[in-house]
Amino acid sequence: MKVFISHSSTDKKFVRMLKDALLENNIETWFDEDQLDLGDSLVSRLDNALDTSSHLVLILSPSSVKSDWVKFELKKALDNQRTGLMQKIIPIKYRECEIPEELKELLHADLSKEVVLPTDNATRVKFISEGFEGFFLKLVRAIRNSSKAINKEEKAEIISSIKASQPSIEKHSISVHRGNYELIGYNTAESRLKYQKVISNKSTADENIDDLRPFLLPASLKSLCKFEKGQKIEIQSDLPFPSYGHFAGYRIDDLKIALDKRTRNELYIRAGNFYQVEIDFKKNIIRFVNMFGKNPHNGKKFLGEENNGLAA
């Protein structure tokens, strides 16, 4: 058995302590701080780690429930649970927060009222209230009692079977990806210009660089998307007329879509809102189908992304 610990970086002091306690009880863990190296492909490493883990322990806090990477890991774990690769998902509420909809039917541990202090080396926390001991005993028992005897060969066979069936699924399914994404823009003309230059260097079209409208897709779509950098893509909303954008690459730090302001304005879609998005890879069309969430910046003007999203 191997436990994947999904968490936000703001909760690492607790996660380090939890990892140490699990290892002392001979429970192997996957923890990004230990396993990721410079130059690694984050999406592929996470995919592989989740495929080879028997349990997902999800640390819930105000930061983690908003984290795009935690959402990505949870979705992957839920998919793996349906195929038998993932045996159990165990939510742990570390800080007071809203439980994600996908987890509301699961029993979760609640440590949000427990008292913690930093340790001497300031990289971990320790609990000084009595609730943690009872919780940890239940956690170890839950992991051990639900751990089925699936060896590496059997797990590899399941993964191989899933991969083998994928071409057939793709062949007979409609080539449309559907997902929920936050729409963002660019804070500065300089950040937009960076991607306009990327497009200009790749595009064969005779277009002025100022007329190029760069958009960035989430890194999680790399395995599906066949767009070429500089390719002009039709972009639609529920309006009767379309707009367009030029593909500039992938973001590597979240699951958001970055879109030029001119395109957003033409389609009456707004940065900071969450949309249901359809991407038709055969017809090369991106559709913003339905808005289902508002910008959380109450009363504040939202200018675009905080420019920490890079393109790969």
Over range 289-299, report the average pLDDT.
Answer: 60
Question: Residue 67's beta-bridge partner residues?
Answer: none
pLDDT digits (tens, 9 = 90+) for 182-211: 899 998 889 899 999 988 887 655 678 989
d(CA 53, CA 267): 43
Other CB atoms within 10 Å distance of the CB of residue 75: 15
pTM for the whole structure? 0.54
CATH architecture of 2-170: 3-Layer(aba) Sandwich (3.40)
Domain residues of the chain, as ranges? 2-170, 175-293
Q: How does strand 109-110 pair with strand 88-93? A: parallel
Six-digit token pair at 233? 């893509």
C-alpha to C-alpha distance for 269 and 275, rounded to whole angstroms: 9
Condensed to tens digits (0 to 9), the pLDDT of residues 300-309 reads: 433 344 433 4
Q: How far apart are CA 189 and CA 210, in angstroms?
A: 11
Report CA-CA distances (Å) from 226 to 41, 44, 217, 266.
18, 17, 12, 25
CATH number of 175-293: 2.40.40.20
Among candidate residues 125, 98, 126, 92, the one with its CA nearest the CA of residue 111: 92
pLDDT of residue 65: 93
